[in-house]
Amino acid sequence: MSGPPNMSAIVNTEHTGIDETGFEKLNVKKPSVNKTMTAEPQPSITTDVLIIGAGLAGLSTALALPKSLSITILSKAALETCSSHYAQGGIAASLDKDDSIADHVADTLIAGAGLCATDNTTTILSAGQQAVQWLCAQGVPFTQVSHINDTQQNNIQNNVQNNILNGKTVKAATDAVAGLKTANLHLTKEGGHGCRRVAHADDATGRHIMQTLSAQAQAATNITILPYHEALTLLTETSNKSLNGTSLTVQAAASNPHQHCQGAIVFDHNTQRQLTFYSRAVVLASGGLGQLFQRATAPNVCVGDGVMMAWQAGCRLANLEFIQFHPTGVALGTSNFLVSEALRGEGGHLYCPQTGKRFMLDLDPRAELAPRDIVARAIAEQINNNGLGFVHLDVSHLPADFLQQHFPQIYQTLLDLGIDITTDPIPVAPTAHYSCGGVVTCANGLTDVQGLYAAGEVAYTGLHGANRLASNSLLECVVVGRNIAAHLPRYLEAMSKSSKNTKPSTKSASSTSTFTSNLASNIWTPLQIADTQTIALPSFGSIAEHEEAFNINGNIHVDNNDDIDGITAKLKSLMSSHMGIMRSAEQLEQALVQIHQWQHECQCFSLEGSTKFNSLSHFQLTRQLQLATLIIQSAYQRCESRGGHSRKDYPLLASQPLISIIEPFLANKTDSIDNAMDGWHQPRVNNISSEPLLAVAAV
Ligand SMILES: Cc1cc2nc3c(=O)[nH]c(=O)nc-3n(C[C@H](O)[C@H](O)[C@H](O)COP(=O)(O)OP(=O)(O)OC[C@H]3O[C@@H](n4cnc5c(N)ncnc54)[C@H](O)[C@@H]3O)c2cc1C
């Protein structure tokens, strides 16, 4: 940065009532849902960097950015409601003296089944040790080989003092100690890894990491955290211009190569009002989409909002069909508790409860430690073939004190559910867990839209290919988050330099910002992807108008939320039954037809004679139905079985591994909503009755 930022976190207190000196940071009570939407003027807030998502990707980015920037972080619900908080196993990195980055890359590529982007994979995994060291420096209490006793603690303390006295800066001294701790980490082994490589904090790694980083972020004076603030749509150059005068219109960047992101429209659940956030850059860190499925490990905020916002703003999406199912979700009632892979890493066995057979032995030389897709498929087959609801994971042959000491959270949670893992087998079944695809992003987090970065589960960097290697995702959040923090100030500098060179003149706002972003584009190089297949989708057409309608809607009473909730629940069930571990053209076609019907019903929920959304849940459902369609269509067009994608009708690998690409959504503003929706529905039904469409484009 050439100087201090000229934009600070300013809140229009006249409208929001939020204190200018700081937002309420934590413990915001979940507000009761007011069933009306207000049409009062939208308060606006200005910040240097807007981060959408307060999981590991969002907080890593925020904490690594220069302190001179004002940063606002949005979280859709409470801060701890994110996947990062629930991560158990740990974070993978090449840390052991007998391990190497090349070995970590090799294991990742094998798990990814031919679809990993090798360059990005190597770049991200090479930064693994620094990422873990950075987390240690933030104070994350990773489990050490031998628990550090008081004397060692004092030594470490003295080390810091000595380093400072010897002229090292506090940061260098802290880094040195973090290095010391990294060298002493206790590492576990998980499925698909050739050696012990996973750093962890007991069996609640995510909770420990997130508590540490949240405390750091709350203490930082340049960071404002806003829980219960839900981003609805991104502002791009065109939308910003129109917000000044006329109405909100979101336009795809693909139609304008100089498009850049300038903020977001946000719904504040605390006050039940919409806010407009203007920012110089936006970081999407909104997590995955597991909650589109009935059984999912992710919390309910993870419904793919970021994927849809990015796509509507003009970003490509990749490999959405690769949903990873975790093999060992606890199959007890409605519990979505996960039993970490580390239990199998330490010697846990899987048995068919009916035959008592340890079935993995016949299926893979790595037995229970085969990659996730293989184990999940094997469990699903056992369940289906034997008419069961679960299989058994058994660790009762391991020493009881070892289990209690190494897996305290799993031990206690299952004990509360009535299962003592030191003596009883655990009923487990596969559960939707991770989205390997997402918003196309390079290893520095750059998307297709200038000023819009993405990190974490919302993004596709190519690291996970067709199947994520266990514990690589937390690593990706930290590495890409830190890479964004290194790149973003350079982008802002380029933007501010070019705007200084641009005299305020008779030029229109749009030509000025086009000039600005032209200069910034010199440092903005989105990911190029070779060997792709384009997913054929009819135009959605009406999304921009839908958002406009939502935005200007006023005081509308919601009288059909039951229907909306009903369809939302049925959608989850449909995704689990028809877009689950085993897929077929027939099932996917049925799912698309069903969703088409729901989309039609959804349209009818709009007020009579109007095309407006009548509530936030109506808006959310519409978007989830659209995303479900994108995912299913991607699965439909992948006529092979690879990694996490298994087709009964195409059981073999295709000869060439191709990345599925969904091109950016292009708003057709001249279409009426009705025309656009007709355009959307009709070709879909035609496609279903014909052979799968495979438009292959090797780029
Ligand atoms: C139970 C479980 C165990 C796991 N164990 C491991 C493990 O051991 N190792 C590993 O590497 N990975 C693990 N994973 C995967 C890993 O935890 C996630 O991939 C990773 O934490 C994702 O981080 P994130 O920051 O991208 O998203 P999240 O941590 O999910 O955070 C998403 C954030 O975005 C916010 N958000 C979403 N939509 C909006 C919106 N519209 N507006 C505003 N905010 C929004 C949410 O409120 C939340 O703050 C596990 C996942 C689960 C669910």
Q: What is the CA radius of gyration of the chain?
A: 25
DSSP E strands in 126-270: the ranges are 187-188, 198-199, 223-226, 229-236, 261-268
| Whole-prediction pTM | 0.83
What atom of ligand 1 comes closest to residue 229's alpha carbon?
Answer: 43
Tokens of 579: 């877009």
* Burial label, 522 (beta-carbon count in 10 A; 0-12, 13-18, 19+): exposed
Mean pLDDT of 272-287: 96
Q: Which residue in 616, 562, 602 sits closest to 37, CA to CA?
A: 616
Q: Which residue has the higher pLDDT, 255 or 93?
A: 93
Does 249 have pLDDT greater than 80? no
Using a 6 Å cutoff on CB, does residue 89 contact ligand 1?
yes
Contacts of 157 (CB under 8 A, 6+ apart): none
Q: Are strands 452-454 and 323-330 parallel, antiparallel or unpaired?
A: unpaired
Q: Which residue in 492, 499, 544, 469 sits closest to 111, CA to CA?
A: 469
DSSP 8-state symbol, 82 = S
- Cα(694) to ligand 1 centroid in Å equals 32
Give CA–CA dist 391/328, Å, rounded.
Answer: 9
Question: Which pLDDT value is given to residue 375?
Answer: 93
- Cα(673) to ligand 1 centroid in Å equals 34
Using a 6 Å cutoff on CB, does residue 83 contact ligand 1?
yes
Question: Which pLDDT value is given to residue 502?
Answer: 57
Question: Which pLDDT value is given to residue 335?
Answer: 82
512 Ramachandran zone, left/alpha/beta (phi>0; psi -120 to 50):
alpha
Domain coordinates in residue numbering, the chain: 10-85+210-321+436-523, 326-432, 532-697
Tokens of 246: 């006329």
DSSP 8-state symbol, 466 = T
Q: Are the CB atoms for 247 and 552 separated by under 8 Å? A: yes
| pLDDT tens-place string over residues 74-95 | 999 999 999 999 998 899 999 9
Pick the CATH number of 326-432 from 3.40.190.10, 3.40.640.10, 3.90.1010.20, 3.90.700.10: 3.90.700.10
| pLDDT tens-place string over residues 375-393 | 999 999 999 888 888 999 9
Give CA–CA dist 342/340, Å, rounded.
Answer: 5
Using a 6 Å cutoff on CB, does residue 58 contact ligand 1?
yes
Helix 616-637 × helix 305-313 angle, to 10°: 80
- Cα(457) to ligand 1 centroid in Å equals 7
Does 261 have pLDDT greater than 60? yes
Using a 6 Å cutoff on CB, does residue 231 contact ligand 1?
yes
Does 258 have pLDDT greater than 70? no
What residues form DSSP beta bridges with 329? 338, 429
Does 162 have pLDDT greater than 70? no
225 Ramachandran zone, left/alpha/beta (phi>0; psi -120 to 50):
beta
| pLDDT tens-place string over residues 232-243 | 999 987 543 333
| Coil, strand or helix at 162 | helix
Backbone CA torsion sign across 254, 260, 265, 266: positive
What atom of ligand 1 comes closest to residue 231's alpha carbon?
Answer: 42
562 Ramachandran zone, left/alpha/beta (phi>0; psi -120 to 50):
alpha
Question: Which pLDDT value is given to residue 518?
Answer: 61
Q: Which residue has the higher pLDDT, 17 or 485?
A: 485
Quickly tell me which residue has 């790149």 as its tokens: 487
Give CA–CA dist 695/656, Å, rounded.
Answer: 14
Q: Are the CB atoms for 350 and 393 separated by under 8 Å? A: yes
Using a 6 Å cutoff on CB, does residue 542 contact ligand 1?
no
Q: Are the CB atoms for 639 and 654 separated by under 8 Å? A: yes
Mean pLDDT of 270-292: 96
* Residue 372 is a catalytic residue: yes
Phi and psi torsions of 303, nearest 5°: -125, 20
Q: Are the CB atoms for 331 and 338 separated by under 8 Å? A: no
Using a 6 Å cutoff on CB, does residue 287 contact ligand 1?
yes
Q: Which residue has the higher pLDDT, 182 or 337?
A: 337
Q: Do 326-432 and 532-697 fold alike per CATH?
A: no
Q: Tell me what percent of the residues of the chain surpass a pLDDT of 90.
A: 60
- Cα(554) to ligand 1 centroid in Å equals 33
329 Ramachandran zone, left/alpha/beta (phi>0; psi -120 to 50):
beta
Q: Are the CB atoms for 640 and 634 separated by under 8 Å? A: no
Mean pLDDT of 449-464: 97
Give the model's confidence band at 519: pLDDT under 50 very low, under 70 low, under 90 confident, else very high: low
Q: Which residue in 492, 516, 493, 494 sits closest to 504, CA to CA?
A: 516
Give CA–CA dist 272/654, Å, rounded.
Answer: 50
Which residue minimizes the CA distance to atom 27 of ligand 1?
287
* Burial label, 483 (beta-carbon count in 10 A; 0-12, 13-18, 19+): buried
Lowest mean pLDDT among 18-22, 138-142, 510-514: 18-22
| Coil, strand or helix at 359 | coil
Using CA atoms, how far residue 521 sits from 50, 51, 260, 352, in Å, is 20, 21, 10, 57
Give CA–CA dist 243/42, Å, rounded.
Answer: 11
Q: Which of 316, 344, 372, 623 is catalytic?
A: 372
| pLDDT tens-place string over residues 501-516 | 655 444 444 444 454 5
Does 466 have pLDDT greater than 70? yes
Give first-to-last CA distance, the chain, whole Å. Answer: 36
The CATH number assigned to the domain with range 532-697 reads 1.20.58.100
Give CA–CA dist 630/635, Å, rounded.
Answer: 9
Q: Please say whether the structural domain 10-85+210-321+436-523 has been given the CATH code 3.40.50.300.
A: no
Lowest mean pLDDT among 33-37, 166-170, 182-186: 33-37
- Cα(61) to ligand 1 centroid in Å equals 14
Give CA–CA dist 305/622, Å, rounded.
Answer: 11
